[in-house]
Amino acid sequence: MSFATINPATGEFVEEFPLQSDKEVFEALDTADRRYREDWKFRPVAERARIVGRAARILREKRDEYASYLTLEMGKVTRFGYLEVDLVADILDYYAENGERFLAAESLPGEPGATLVTEPIGVILAIEPWNFPYYQLARVVAPQLVAGNVVMLKHAESVPRCALAFARLFEEAGAPEGVYTNLFCGIEQIADLVDDFRVRGVTLTGSERAGASVGERAGRNLKKVVLELGGSDPALILEGASLEHAVEQTVMGRTFNSGQGCVNIKRVIVVGRERGEKMLAALTERFAAIVVGDPTDEATLLGPLASERGLDGLLEQIEAAQAAGARIVHGGKRVDRPGFYLEPTIITDIAEDNPLYQQEAFGPVLSFYVVDSEAEAIELANATRYGLGAYVFDVDIEHAKQVASRIESGMVYINSCFADSPRLPFGGVKNSGFGRELSALGIGEFLNRKLLRVSESA
Active site residue 228: yes
The count of C-alpha atoms lying within 13 angstroms of the C-alpha of 92, restricted to the half-sphere facing its C-beta, is 26
- Quick check: 116 and 102 in contact, CB under 8 A? no
Which one from 262, 343, 417, 445 is the annotated catalytic residue? 262
The full DSSP string for 313-368 is HHHHHHHHHHHTT-EEEE--SB-SSSSS-B--EEEE---TTSGGGT----SSEEEE
* Nearest one of 12, 126, 127 to 73, comparing CA atoms: 12
Q: State the catalytic residue, choosing from 84, 157, 228, 437.
A: 228
What is the Cα–Cα distance from 20 to 24, expressed in whole angstroms? 6
**Angle, helix 63-74 to helix 78-103, in steps of 10 degrees:** 120
Instruction: State the sign of the Cα–Cα–Cα–Cα dihedral 440, 120, 194, 178.
Output: positive
CB burial string 160-194: b at 16+ within 10 A, e below? bbbbbbbbebbeebebeebbbbbbbbbeebbebbb
Catalytic residues: 228, 262
